[in-house]
Amino acid sequence: MGGGEDDGIDDGSVVSVEILSEHDEAPPLPPGRHRTLDLRPGHGEMIKPAELIDVSGHGHLTLSDKRIYNALVANAFGPAMGERGREFQISTTLLRGSHKGNERLKDSVERLMKTIVRVRLSDGQTRRVQLLGANDLHDDERQEGIFTYSFDPKLIGLLKNSTVFGKLEIQVMMAFTSSYALSLYEAVARRHRLQHKTSEKFTIEGLRDLLGVPEGKLDVWGNLFEKAIKPAIREINGLAAFGVGIRPIKTGRKITGAELSWWNKNEDELRDAFREIQQPKVGRKARIEGRAEESTRSLQEALASLPKPKPPKW
DNA sequence: GGAGTGTACAGCTCCGGGGA
DNA sequence: TCCCCGGAGCTGTACACTCC
């Protein structure tokens, strides 16, 4: 998520969607172009319209909020998502993850409802809509924990005509431990398939928005880099099918912007990423940083230095 | 001297799970 | 399903240090 009305130096990330009136039919597309909602995600993938990735003002959302929202989008995804007044249902078990109660789910839903999507329209106006529309959480026994939800009609208007999207690997998405990593992953996922582009420049504010850093937090570049950018890059480069890098741009000595770049991984890197996703989250940071190998080696050395145990007498 | 870098530490959030 | 707990590790802040 990122981009928006206060976007970066390079305007390439700003979503520009031609909005139709409530009753308009979608205009015909040029040959070879498809509407996002007509696409079919592959196995283990989800497709997220760019309008839901380039969201401003999502700084207060936690990692689990973002995951839950992606699960709701994945569940609703398809031509039906573009129908006004359409409601969708999903089992709360799928949204809760491994946690037993619904209390966190309720909190997440309320935070998602308070999140405003800001999209710049082609006529220069900015549209503001709620990320999640009206919903019902049935938590009595007869309803078996079903969450019924809808999207704002104005948001549906955007989604119906969307042609730009990001393909997200669900396993990778679930493996992130940092919310900044998930935001950066989504932002790059929608960009890295572009053949003519492998980088994009942002202002510091644009980059903060892209990562979803709350206002007033991590104001100093050093802190932003150390606590948000570095962990996000580390996780993506360790887990995703593509690599990312962020290079600061200086004006004099002051850092005034940053260049985000991305590339496809080679076979070995892909194999490493796949292997890491299969491993438990505990110790991932160390493994990704390559420290795991070192600590394993020192452990082996320590074990080797111990006196060999005598074979048991049977 | 101003700006970036590195790091220690405290607080917070996430996550998994026990028990009612 | 809810309430609660504890551990792991993420996040934010502050400060000393380095560099230009």
* pLDDT tens digits along A261-275: 888 888 888 888 877
Q: Are residues A176 and A290 in the same domain?
A: yes
| CATH code for position A195 | 1.10.10.10
Q: Residue A301 pLDDT more than 60? A: no
Q: Are residues A128 and A206 in the same domain?
A: no
Q: Residue A45 pLDDT more than 60? A: yes
> Does A115 reside within a domain?
yes
Residue A48's DSSP bridge partners are: A166
Convert the pLDDT of each residue in A104-149 to its tens digit.
788 788 888 888 777 777 777 888 888 888 888 765 444 457 888 8
Whether the beta carbon of A279 falls within 7 A of nucleic chain B: the reply is no
Separation in Å: C18 C1' and A176 CA: 33
pLDDT of residue A164: 76
Question: Contact A257/A203 with Cβ under 8 angstroms?
Answer: yes
Nearest to A118 by CA among A275, A7, A8: A7
Q: Are residues A139 and A175 in the same domain?
A: no
> Does A26 reside within a domain?
no
Q: Where are the beta strands (DSSP E) in A18-163?
A: 45-49, 87-91, 116-120, 126-130, 135-138, 146-150
Give the range of the structural domain holding residue A45, as residue numbers without chain letter. 38-163
Separation in Å: C8 C1' and A38 CA: 42
Please tell me whether the overall predicted TM-score, pTM, comes out greater than 0.85 for this model.
no
Q: How many CA atoms lie within 13 A of A306 on its CB side?
A: 8
> Does A49 reside within a domain?
yes
Separation in Å: C18 C1' and A27 CA: 59
Closest nucleotide to A92's CA, by C1' atom?
A: C1
Q: Are residues A7 and A49 in the same domain?
A: no
Whether the beta carbon of A249 falls within 7 A of nucleic chain B: the reply is no
Q: Are residues A122 and A199 in the same domain?
A: no
> Does A19 reside within a domain?
no
Whether the beta carbon of A225 falls within 7 A of nucleic chain B: the reply is yes
> Does A267 reside within a domain?
yes
Residue that finishes a domain, picked among A163, A183, A204:
A163
> Does A144 reside within a domain?
yes
Q: Are residues A129 and A179 in the same domain?
A: no
Q: Are residues A64 and A130 in the same domain?
A: yes
Whether the beta carbon of A217 falls within 7 A of nucleic chain B: the reply is no
Separation in Å: B16 C1' and A101 CA: 12
Whether the beta carbon of A214 falls within 7 A of nucleic chain B: the reply is no
Convert the pLDDT of each residue in A180-221 to its tens digit.
888 888 888 888 777 677 888 888 878 888 888 877 777 778
Q: Are residues A57 and A120 in the same domain?
A: yes
Q: Are residues A252 and A215 in the same domain?
A: yes
pLDDT of residue A19: 33
Q: Are residues A155 and A180 in the same domain?
A: no
Q: Are residues A229 and A140 in the same domain?
A: no
- Report the C-alpha gap between A237 and A241 in whole angstroms: 8
Mean predicted lDDT score pLDDT of chain A: 72
| CATH code for position A118 | 1.10.10
Residue that finishes a domain, picked among A128, A163, A198:
A163
- Report the C-alpha gap between A11 and A202 in whole angstroms: 9
Could you list the protein residues whose CB lies below 7 A from any atom in strand C?
A 63, 92-93, 99-103, 139, 144-145, 177-180, 213-214, 216-220, 222-223, 226-228, 231, 253, 281-285
CB atoms within 10 A of CB A108: 21
Core vs surface per residue A67-105: b (16+ CB within 10 A) or e: bbbbbbbbbbbeeebbeeeeebebebeebbeeeeebebb
Structurally, chain A folds into a number of domains equal to 2
> Does A113 reside within a domain?
yes
> Which two structure tokens, joined as six digits, stand for A82?
């573009």
Core vs surface per residue A188-225: b (16+ CB within 10 A) or e: bbbbbeeeeeebbbbbbebbbbbbbbeeeebeebeebb
pLDDT of residue A30: 61
- Residue type at A140? D
Separation in Å: B20 C1' and A100 CA: 13
Residue that finishes a domain, picked among A136, A163, A190:
A163
pLDDT of residue A209: 80
Whether the beta carbon of A93 falls within 7 A of nucleic chain B: the reply is no
- Report the C-alpha gap between A126 and A15 in whole angstroms: 11
Q: Are residues A206 and A231 in the same domain?
A: yes
Q: Where are the beta strands (DSSP E) in chain A?
A: 45-49, 87-91, 116-120, 126-130, 135-138, 146-150, 165-169, 199-203, 242-251, 254-264
Residue A138's DSSP bridge partners are: A146
Going from the C-alpha of A265 to that of each of A22, A166, A277, the distances in angstroms are: 43, 17, 15
> Does A18 reside within a domain?
no
For strand C, give the nucleotides within 7 A of a protein CB: 1-4, 8-15, 20
Whether the beta carbon of A125 falls within 7 A of nucleic chain B: the reply is no
